[in-house]
Structure 1
Amino acid sequence: MIKKHWKKILLSLCSMLWSGCSDDSSSDSKELIACELEQICPEYGIFYDCENEEDAIAGNFENCTMSYPACTDTYYCEDDVTCFQSTDDETKTFDCRDEKDNKTVYTEDEFKSKYYVESERIH
């Protein structure tokens, strides 16, 4: 009987093994949550940091350092979490709050392991 039906037996064994090898990897890795980035950059404004305050009052900015106000990056995520990105000494952190105002601070790597940016809006 095995000699007569060996092709069918082999085919059924292969199909059983094949069905066990699913390419659906969602069970192995967690799914990322989408976030939408809203970046607000001021249109006007320059900050002067002067060693002598009188120079700034007089309008003499030769001995002053100039900087522009930074943009504000806010992430609105599908799990009802809002995150604000801040950069401190070249380290990005994300201050996130849920709808009950529970706070969680993520490093950049931690944030990227949980969330991804769906689209960008620049105002």
Structure 2
Amino acid sequence: YKILAWCVCAVFLGMAGALTGNLVGFIDPRELAFAGATFGVWMVVMAILGGKGTLWGPVIGAALFHLTQELFWTYLLNWQRVALGVLIVLIVVLFPTGIMGWLRDYSANRRHMTGSPTS
């Protein structure tokens, strides 16, 4: 099972690399493999934003984080790093359980307030 999981991951990684190479036109392994210290921080923020311990949480967190990152880089010119720092603080303070955890808690509170039976 481990080898099969590794092969499936390698297929998706190869497809992503092919798309990146086609889009960029040039691939330097040092830039992609060692993207810097902020790359690791961004991965953690994506997982926290979406919700840790869930399958779809990090996927949703990655999509939202990349969307806001692109918007910041497009419209905030030289202030994009400051805006990303503020976003990280807001995520940690306002969504400590992530979006999926917030949705789970919101639906549980809503069911509790309406008197619907829980399953």
**What TM-score range do you get, normalising by the shorter chain?**
under 0.3
Q: Which has the higher contact order (CA 8 A, sep 6+)?
A: 1
The structure having more radius of gyration, on CA atoms, is 1
